Amino acid sequence: MEDLRNADLLLADARALLAEHASVRAQAAHALDALRRDVARAGLESVPVSRLKDVTGGRLRISTLEKAGFGTVRQVLDATPYELQSLPGIGARTAGQIHAAARQIEQAAAEAASLRLDVDRPDHHTTELVVCLHRLVVAGPDLPRALEAAGDLAERLAPLLAQARPARSRLRMMFTLPARRRRAREAVEEIEALLDGAAATRLLLAQVTADLLRPPARDFEAWADFESRSPEYFALLAELAGEPLGTGQGLLPDDLAAKVAAQPLDDTHRRVSLRGYQAFGARFSLAQERVIIGDEMGLGKSIEAIAALAHLQASGDTHFLVVCPASVLINWVREIGSRSTLRAYPLHGPDRPAARREWLRDGGVAVATLDGLHRLGDLAAVELGMLVVDEAHYVKNPETRRSRAVAAWCGRTRRVLFLTGTPMENRVEEFRTLISYLRPDLAAELRSSDVVAGARAFRKAVAPVYLRRNQQDVLAELPERVEADEWVEFSGADFAVYREAVAEGNFMAMRRAAYAEPATSAKLKRLLELVEDAAANGLKVVVFSYFRAVLAAVGAALDGRAHGPLSGDVPAERRQQLVDEFSAAAGHAVLLSQVQAGGVGLNLQAASVVILCEPQVKPSMETQAVGRAHRMGQVRRVQVHRLLTVDSVDQRMLDILRRKSRLFDAYARRSDLAESSGEAMDVSEQTLARLVIEEEQRRLLPGGS
């Protein structure tokens, strides 16, 4: 029968895909094991040979090894059995026990090893792993769906075809017992029903299998692809390494974490693989329904939100709304389109009315700005599957129009997801305001004693509504960040301008005085040296300053060779275009940006050198700016250079800001130990300016106060 022959072919296609995928994964796993052993062996160079006694419960006598000069476990692993047996008192059995104990330590170290794929220092095993992962990445986002379909077909078709075997021949059916004939006919009917909707599945299996069967990429091709889309490689690597779902559960109690882990997450409409911590974040938003995800910059909060929207779409919801600052609206539209099958409608600009009508009619994700949300009109008839508010700390003041608009939408929407990397940058009371939009009951229950007791007690109290993870907790593969304070002295001309600004009590003029005379500016000279060094190494640079005048001076000094600047008056579409041009530039390039413009919503991981022209009043502003480069997708070590002038406003600011930063870390970043009140976290710009001006006037002006 033709149906049975078609079923044979379909089963063969499914098994071929499963077998080829298993083969590629096995090759990748082998390369991963080899790389882990390399990392482990390097680490064992510092592990003393005495640790062998811990593994064997003290049964091994290692004094002979130590006397023979074996100081580390690595040296034992590198020695041959013959070399060990040649030592006095060590026979073949003891040598075997020593080697077994050393290998046990090596295995434990390999399992715990943090892997970093360094694009600038590719070795043999790292390259082998990247080439293997490349075959899985190029199979595309349809690979998980194809594997699920293939597994389902293999599980269902194999027994059905076995039951239908007598039906392949009329003669065989004649000599088959009645009960067996009946089962064969029933199996044929089930196979026919299964084949009715299998055309698209067969095409999917064929396409994905063909992708997997491509010859391995050449080394440089695989590394180039890795550099362009490293998050996909690291997601596969985490899956291959067995990253558990609960990775990055933050400070959630175990019972809540278990509830989140049990929450289903449908990937039918998702076109991106998730890291374990990202899947956990998406599940958290679905399980708790009204939450804040406060993951640190660069961990992919938008992907977690899109994963939740895709799940809800598969569950039958049709309309969703994302609200964000205007600067990131285009980025959201692009992310939704590339990470899911959902359609995004930007409700902004002259096409807003048409996009609104189309969204209302067809469903999908409407993307509106925070300041334009109140102009959406009466949409009470629309039942939102979820409301997502990005950069939610912008609505921490309940008196603003944008906050009132968000609060109104929260009031009529069942599921609400707030995203913010810095929810507690100032007063804990403002964070309580964010919670009040989502869970007024919980906000009312928060006690001042929770704050006074420290960060851990406070985070435990808000656990039902708040999840935060940090880079060092969940992105072990992220390249290191090297920070350097570049101290310089005022030139004579710049100091004269600075002294005049101090006398006038002009805080902003004091902050930019080091660039007043570009021809002699020591800061500008050091900046150019850093840029030239980056150019010699083919590295991309992003230069941040609060002041447009400073960026103009830098741009002029670079003779127009810089992209940008990104500033508040540059439309969101143009900002993204500038970032795209900077990222696409071959080799070295420089991007200029105001810290308040480039620090929000833009992905700058093409840059591995960050230069900050002056310290910022808010530590979080600098953290956000640096986080745009040092984030998921970064494949190079990030160098952060802060340009600072000795005996100046810079030095005075840092003393105050470091104290503020420590408090912020305690409450919002690390959630370790904090002994201070949340109210002490606020150092306003006005207070900071007054303190610095008074200090500098006392220091520089005779009789100054």
The helix/strand/coil state of 144 is helix
User: Does residue 119 surpass a pLDDT of 90?
Assistant: no
For 104-174, strand residue ranges (E) read: none
Mean pLDDT of 204-223: 86
For residue range 512-567, what is the model confidence (pLDDT) as tens digits? 999 999 999 989 998 998 898 888 778 889 899 999 999 999 999 998 889 888 88
Q: What is d(CA 376, CA 388) in angstroms, rounded to the nearest whole number?
A: 15
Q: Are 696 and 647 in contact (CB under 8 A)?
A: no
User: Does residue 500 surpass a pLDDT of 90?
Assistant: yes
For residue range 307-346, what is the model confidence (pLDDT) as tens digits? 999 999 999 999 999 999 886 787 788 889 888 999 999 9
For 476-617, strand residue ranges (E) read: 481-488, 540-545, 562-566, 589-594, 609-612
User: Does residue 425 surpass a pLDDT of 50?
Assistant: no
Rg (CA), the chain: 30
User: Which pLDDT band, with edges at 50, 70 and 90, does 634 fall under?
Assistant: low
* 143 and 39 belong to one structural domain: yes
* 249 and 232 belong to one structural domain: no
Instruction: Considering only residues 148 and 630, tell me which one the structure prediction assigns the higher pLDDT.
Output: 148
For residue range 88-106, what is the model confidence (pLDDT) as tens digits? 878 888 788 888 888 877 7
pLDDT computed for residue 640 by the predictor: 85
User: End-to-end alpha-carbon separation of the chain, Å?
Assistant: 100
At 603, give phi and psi (nearest 5°): -100, 115
Residue 562 is part of a domain; what is its CATH number? 3.40.50.300
User: Does residue 454 surpass a pLDDT of 80?
Assistant: no
Last residue of a domain, one of 209, 242, 275: 242
Give the whole-number percent of the chain exceeding pLDDT 90. Answer: 21
3-state secondary structure 432-460: HHHHHHHCHHHHHHCCHHHHHCCHHHHHH
Instruction: Considering only residues 298 and 132, tell me which one the structure prediction assigns the higher pLDDT.
Output: 132
Q: Is 314 exposed, middle or buried (0-12, 13-18, 19+ CB in 10 A)?
A: middle
Q: What is d(CA 218, CA 198) in angstroms, rounded to the nearest whole number?
A: 35
Task: Name residues whose C-beta falls within 8 Å of residue 223's C-beta, 6 or more positions apart in sequence.
Answer: 119, 122, 127, 130
User: Does residue 474 surpass a pLDDT of 60?
Assistant: yes
User: Which pLDDT band, with edges at 50, 70 and 90, does 304 fall under?
Assistant: very high
Q: What is d(CA 282, CA 417) in angstroms, rounded to the nearest whole number?
A: 10
Q: What is d(CA 205, CA 147) in angstroms, rounded to the nearest whole number?
A: 8
Residue 193 belongs to what domain range? 1-242
C-beta atoms surrounding 349 within 10 Å: 14
Q: What is d(CA 151, CA 137) in angstroms, rounded to the nearest whole number?
A: 20
User: Does residue 22 surpass a pLDDT of 60?
Assistant: yes
Residue 65 lies in a domain: yes
Q: Sign of the C-alpha dihedral, residues 522, 524, 526, 529?
A: negative
Q: Where are the alpha helices (DSSP H) in 262-393?
A: 276-288, 301-314, 329-339, 352-362
The helix/strand/coil state of 310 is helix
Instruction: Considering only residues 683 and 700, tell me which one the structure prediction assigns the higher pLDDT.
Output: 700
Residue 629 lies in a domain: yes
Mean pLDDT of 225-241: 76
Q: What is the DSSP letter of 668?
A: I
* 585 and 672 belong to one structural domain: yes
pLDDT computed for residue 669 by the predictor: 44
Q: Sign of the C-alpha dihedral, residues 394, 397, 403, 409?
A: positive
Candidate ranges 62-71, 153-162, 569-578, 594-603; pick with highest mean pLDDT: 153-162
Q: Are 333 and 365 in contact (CB under 8 A)?
A: no
- 638 beta partners: 481
Mean pLDDT of 487-495: 86
Instruction: Considering only residues 621 and 281, tell me which one the structure prediction assigns the higher pLDDT.
Output: 281
Amino acid at 52: L
Which residue in this structure is represented by tokens 């009508």? 357
Q: Are 512 and 669 in contact (CB under 8 A)?
A: no
> Considering only 227-236, 261-270, 348-357, 661-670, which range has the smallest mean pLDDT?
661-670
Sheet holding 481-488, edge to edge: 481-488, 638-645, 609-612, 540-545, 589-594, 562-566
User: Does residue 705 surpass a pLDDT of 70?
Assistant: no
* 226 and 285 belong to one structural domain: no
Describe the crossing of helices 522-536 and 548-557 by its angle, rounded to 10 degrees. 60
Q: Are 128 and 149 in contact (CB under 8 A)?
A: no
Q: What is d(CA 599, CA 620) in angstroms, rounded to the nearest whole number?
A: 10
User: Does residue 677 surpass a pLDDT of 50?
Assistant: no
* 104 and 235 belong to one structural domain: yes
User: Does residue 491 surpass a pLDDT of 70?
Assistant: yes
User: Residue 247 region, left (φ>0) first, then alpha (ψ -120 to 50), else beta?
Assistant: beta
The mean pLDDT of the chain is: 81
* 146 and 164 belong to one structural domain: yes
Q: Which two tokens stand for residue 498?
A: 């600075």
Mean pLDDT of 288-301: 83
Q: Are 271 and 341 in contact (CB under 8 A)?
A: yes
Q: Are 182 and 163 in contact (CB under 8 A)?
A: no
* 142 and 57 belong to one structural domain: yes
Residue 705 lies in a domain: no
User: Which pLDDT band, with edges at 50, 70 and 90, does 681 fall under?
Assistant: very low
Q: What is d(CA 47, CA 274) in angstroms, rounded to the nearest whole number?
A: 35
Candidate ranges 160-169, 220-229, 282-291, 615-624; pick with highest mean pLDDT: 282-291
Last residue of a domain, one of 198, 226, 242: 242
Instruction: Considering only residues 48 and 500, tell me which one the structure prediction assigns the higher pLDDT.
Output: 500
pLDDT computed for residue 498 by the predictor: 94
Which residue in this structure is represented by tokens 């929407």? 413
pLDDT computed for residue 375 by the predictor: 85
Amino acid at 481: R
* 452 and 542 belong to one structural domain: no
Task: Name residues whose C-beta falls within 8 Å of residue 32's C-beta, 6 or more positions apart in sequence.
Answer: 115, 129, 237, 240, 241
Q: Which two tokens stand for residue 167?
A: 């039906």
Last residue of a domain, one of 473, 489, 517: 473
How far lies 554's CA from each of 348, 477, 565, in Å? 33, 34, 10
User: Does residue 671 surpass a pLDDT of 50?
Assistant: no
* 610 and 666 belong to one structural domain: yes
Sheet holding 416-419, edge to edge: 344-346, 364-369, 319-324, 384-389, 416-419, 290-293, 466-467
Residue 298 is part of a domain; what is its CATH number? 3.40.50.10810
User: Which pLDDT band, with edges at 50, 70 and 90, does 670 fall under?
Assistant: very low
C-beta atoms surrounding 380 within 10 Å: 7
pLDDT computed for residue 378 by the predictor: 67
pLDDT computed for residue 476 by the predictor: 59
Q: Are 417 and 351 in contact (CB under 8 A)?
A: no
* 455 and 499 belong to one structural domain: no
The helix/strand/coil state of 642 is strand
Calculate the dihedral angle through the C-alpha atoms of 340, 345, 346, 351, rounding to the nearest 10 degrees: 150
* 402 and 494 belong to one structural domain: no
pLDDT computed for residue 680 by the predictor: 32
Based on DSSP, count helices (H) and strands (E) in the chain, helices before strands: 33, 13
> Considering only 7-11, 278-282, 506-510, which range has the smallest mean pLDDT?
7-11
- 609 beta partners: 541, 639
> Considering only 126-130, 305-309, 605-609, 613-617, which range has the smallest mean pLDDT?
605-609
Q: How many domains does the structure of the chain reveal? A: 3
Q: What is d(CA 144, CA 153) in angstroms, rounded to the nearest whole number?
A: 14
* 276 and 209 belong to one structural domain: no
The HSE-up count of residue 62 (CA atoms within 13 Å, CB side) is 25
Mean pLDDT of 270-275: 83
Does pTM top 0.85 for this prediction?
no
